[in-house]
Every structure is written in structure tokens, then in C-alpha cells.
């Protein structure tokens, strides 16, 4: 990391130089290019496998979805009203993702 000698801001690599917002710029030598990871040729791109689009880690409960009839839903609770009132329970269907709430 290098800082601007004029204003003290962090210098950022851009277009083969280290540049500052105040307008100061410094040329980057070969050693600095290696140091900051600024190679002329980009490295090979890697494919990142996506295992599952959405991994749910919420608990499930047996309750009927009014939209599709599925009998399993995720649930969570939030205190949406004053502290002396019971928490609101939210449900989300595991099949169609329909979300609804239940007040106790």
C-alpha cells in the first residue's frame, strides 16, 4: 500500500499507474506490478460451481401452504409489535416460496 504524498489518501492502481483522487499519479514499475498483482495478461478465468441457488438454513414446520397445498414451510419469528405482545411468526413454503404471517 502506498499513500499520496500530497494529500495522504491511499493510492489505487488504475491504467498502469497508482492514482489518487486529488490528481496525483505515479508510474508503476515491474516490481510494483508484481507486488500489486497488476499483470499485463489476465489469469485464466476459473469457473465457480453453484451447488444450490438458495440454501435455506431456517427450521421447518408442518403447515399447509394456502397457495399450493404443500405441507412443509420454513418459519422464523420477529418482534414486530411492542415488547409485551407476542412475536409474529412468518412462514415460507418450501415448494412455491409463498410467504405469509401469523399473529398469536
DSSP 32: H
Task: Measure the CA–CA gap between 44 and 37, rounded to whole angstroms.
Answer: 14
Catalytic site includes residue 84: yes
Look up 6 and say whether it is catalytic.
no
Give CA 66 to chain center in angstroms.
Answer: 31
Q: Which of 2, 85, 102, 104 is catalytic?
A: 85
How far apart are alpha carbons 84 and 79 in whole angstroms? 10
List the catalytic residue out of 34, 84, 102, 104. 84
Angstrom distance (rounded) from CA 91 to CA 101: 6
Strand, helix or coil for residue 66: coil
By annotation, the residues acting in catalysis are: 84-85
Amino acid at each position: 500500500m502506498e499513500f499520496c504524498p500530497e494529500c495522504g489518501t491511499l493510492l489505487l492502481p488504475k491504467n498502469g499507474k497508482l492514482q489518487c483522487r486529488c490528481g496525483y499519479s505515479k508510474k508503476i514499475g515491474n516490481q510494483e506490478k508484481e507486488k500489486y498483482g497488476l499483470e499485463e495478461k489476465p489469469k485464466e478465468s476459473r469457473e465457480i460451481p453453484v451447488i444450490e441457488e438458495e440454501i435455506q438454513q431456517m427450521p421447518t414446520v408442518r403447515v399447509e401452504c394456502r397457495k399450493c397445498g404443500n405441507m412443509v414451510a420454513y418459519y422464523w419469528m420477529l418482534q414486530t409489535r411492542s415488547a409485551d405482545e407476542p412475536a409474529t411468526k412468518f412462514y415460507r413454503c418450501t415448494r412455491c416460496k409463498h410467504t405469509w404471517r401469523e399473529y398469536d
